[in-house]
A = this chain, B = another copy of it.
């Protein structure tokens, strides 16, 4: 048996492309005492990985160089175990990285219940992006009935759930997305009352038209000009959740700074969100969202590629904003015929 993992061919500059990555073939690692080997079935691709690769994220303070493997969450199945708490066949989520197999000591690893929701959902709507949305809408913004929530990157796994959680609580959601196709999905599948394409001329006017009374809450995944535009439709005393800086992940030098006069003039409350602070809320988040999925109230969408060799190209697609939903690479069948 062999493992295939993806490494950088060079340090990244700007938007990554497939040529920045190559696949390395190597022997399958053997679990030592207290370790187990996970066959990765799904590899999670997320925008924060771009800044982590550049050494600009909490999860990665050193830039990756040629030969380094990007870190990432994966969902998979234990295939060999020398760990007392994990046995062969267990489905788990862990920080396995961009590879087909990964060792775990149990650290940063959770068993996942595939009877509650499909395995891949534990990387998206029930995973880190989902918990991020929960932290934003429920914990930090405290959205309630009658409010209007504006959500950037509204088709993504965070934004789409922020809007749906708001709707579930009796609020209205207005989305921002990067194409008419995305906007159509945001309104039809996710129930947002409107969605504005920020790549169209007249974006700000369209945003104002979609929010005649303004927004109570803005969930910001982007920063930059979009944050400035959002302030122009934010109600006085509105809330802004600072969650992501997608605008700068590819190239921080091109970042447009926030004019602090905007939050002052709007008497805004801005709150910085770091998802790891909300681990203690995971049980209520998982129970609520899993129930919402089963009841058909909460939907999610995945943007899949197949095979470890596609990871680089699929990540490039994500960082160009072309994905339609949670970006995943399928690395193997959910039920293996034998390892």
- Enumerate chain A interface residues (CB-CB to B < 8 A): 56, 58, 223, 227, 242-243, 245, 257-261, 263-274, 277
**B-side contacts of A261, CB under 8 Å:** 56, 245
Q: A136 → chain B, closest Cβ, in Å? A: 12
A-B contact pairs, 29 of them (CB 8 A): A56-B261, A58-B265, A223-B260, A242-B260, A242-B263, A242-B264, A245-B260, A245-B261, A245-B264, A257-B257, A257-B258, A257-B259, A258-B260, A263-B270, A263-B272, A264-B272, A264-B273, A264-B274, A265-B272, A265-B274, A266-B272, A267-B271, A267-B273, A267-B274, A268-B270, A268-B271, A269-B270, A269-B272, A270-B271
The answer to whether B267 and A272 touch across the interface, beta carbons within 8 angstroms, is yes
**B-side contacts of A260, CB under 8 Å:** 223, 227, 242, 245, 258
> Taking each of A257, A270, A273, which has the highest tally of chain B beta carbons within 10 Å of its own beta carbon?
A270
**B-side contacts of A257, CB under 8 Å:** 257-259
The answer to whether A269 and B269 touch across the interface, beta carbons within 8 angstroms, is yes
**B-side contacts of A227, CB under 8 Å:** 260
Question: Which residue of chain B is the closest to A242 with respect to CB atoms?
Answer: B264
Considering the chains assembled together, what is the distance between the CA atoms of A273 and B267 in angstroms? Answer: 6
Considering the chains assembled together, what is the distance between the CA atoms of A270 and B266 in angstroms? Answer: 12
Question: Which residue of chain B is the closest to A223 with respect to CB atoms?
Answer: B260
Q: A134 → chain B, closest Cβ, in Å? A: 15
**B-side contacts of A58, CB under 8 Å:** 265
Q: A275 → chain B, closest Cβ, in Å? A: 11
Determine which of B242, B243, B267, B270 lies in contact with A277 in the assembled complex, contact meaning CB atoms within 8 Å.
Answer: B267
Q: A55 → chain B, closest Cβ, in Å? A: 13
Considering the chains assembled together, what is the distance between the CA atoms of A259 and B224 in angstroms? Answer: 10
**B-side contacts of A267, CB under 8 Å:** 271-274, 277
**B-side contacts of A265, CB under 8 Å:** 58, 272, 274
Q: A251 → chain B, closest Cβ, in Å? A: 14
Question: Which residue of chain B is the closest to A263 with respect to CB atoms?
Answer: B272
Which 6 A-B pairs give the minimum distances between C-beta atoms?
A: A257-B257, A264-B272, A263-B272, A270-B270, A267-B272, A268-B272
Q: A246 → chain B, closest Cβ, in Å? A: 11
Given contacts A58-B265, A268-B270, 9 further A-B contacts (CB under 8 A): A223-B260, A242-B260, A257-B259, A264-B272, A264-B273, A265-B274, A267-B272, A267-B274, A268-B271
Q: A91 → chain B, closest Cβ, in Å? A: 32
**B-side contacts of A273, CB under 8 Å:** 264, 267
Question: Which residue of chain B is the closest to A245 with respect to CB atoms?
Answer: B260
**B-side contacts of A242, CB under 8 Å:** 260, 263-264
**B-side contacts of A264, CB under 8 Å:** 242-243, 245, 272-274
